[in-house]
């Protein structure tokens, strides 16, 4: 019979040291990799372009809403907001027809609200400060507390950067 000879075993904590070192190295490598990825993404021009496109599209959507939404209870404020979101010939048209619009809206006690259904930028030239967008929206109109009517519109719009802000410079109905 053989006698059981016991061999001295290493304490348990010495077995966990190599595992801890491997985990530490893996964590450092992962953190370094994520850091490099983050730094590359932060300086990527396509990320900056996407952010600019989003900002221009938001401004265009809001300008279309403001252009088409007017409430007789705050008609002058709504007209000022619509004019503020425009530039160039479109602004001139709004400014030139301001008093007639105010009078008509007040007389009819109308409330017109626009809601964007879909929109997209079709062109963006950040260097020149020009952009084009398409949008479909609906307008809900109530006159003198009557029954609401709804109409749907599709437009092509041009935006221009003026004093660091993107504003509507042209808006025309779109066929189809």
All domains in the chain, ordered by first residue: 57-173 (3.10.450.230)
Q: Is 153 in contact with 72 (CB distance < 8 Å)?
A: no
Q: Is the pLDDT of residue 102 over 70?
A: yes
Cα-based distances in Å from 1 to 4, 44, 119, 143: 9, 75, 89, 109
Average pLDDT over residues 88-104: 95
Q: How confident is the model at residue 100 (pLDDT cuts 50, 70, 90)?
A: very high
Q: Is the pLDDT of residue 8 over 70?
A: no
Exposure on the CB side of residue 102, measured as CA atoms within 13 A: 15
Pick the range with the lowest mean pLDDT from 6-15, 80-89, 150-159.
6-15
Judged by DSSP in three states, 131 sits in: strand
Question: Which segments within 56-103 are labelled E, that is strand?
Answer: 70-71
Look at the block and give the residue holding tokens 């092509």.
156
pTM value is 0.74
Mean pLDDT of the chain: 88
More confident residue, 31 or 56: 56
Tokens standing for residue 140: 């809900």
Residue 166 has what pLDDT? 97
Cα–Cα distance measured from residue 68 to residue 150, given in angstroms and rounded to the nearest whole number: 13
Q: Is the pLDDT of residue 45 over 90?
A: no
Residue 36 has what pLDDT? 72
Residue 139 has what pLDDT? 97
Average pLDDT over residues 4-17: 59
């Amino acid at each position: 019979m053989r006698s059981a000879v016991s061999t001295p075993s290493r304490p348990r904590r010495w077995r966990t040291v190599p595992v801890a070192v491997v985990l530490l190295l893996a964590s450092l490598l992962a953190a370094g990799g994520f850091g490099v990825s983050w730094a590359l993404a932060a300086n990527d021009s396509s990320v900056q372009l996407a952010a600019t496109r989003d900002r221009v599209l938001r401004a265009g959507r809001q300008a279309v809403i403001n252009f088409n939404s007017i409430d007789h209870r705050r008609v002058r404020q709504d007209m000022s907001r619509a004019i503020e979101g425009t530039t160039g010939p479109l602004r001139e048209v709004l400014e030139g027809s301001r008093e007639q619009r105010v009078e008509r809206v007040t007389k009819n006690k109308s409330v017109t609200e626009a809601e964007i259904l879909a929109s997209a930028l079709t062109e963006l030239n950040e260097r020149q400060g020009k952009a084009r967008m398409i949008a479909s929206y609906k307008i809900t109109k109530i006159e003198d507390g009557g029954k609401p009517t709804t109409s749907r519109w599709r437009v092509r719009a041009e935006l221009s950067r003026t004093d660091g802000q993107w504003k509507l410079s042209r808006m025309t109905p779109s066929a189809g």
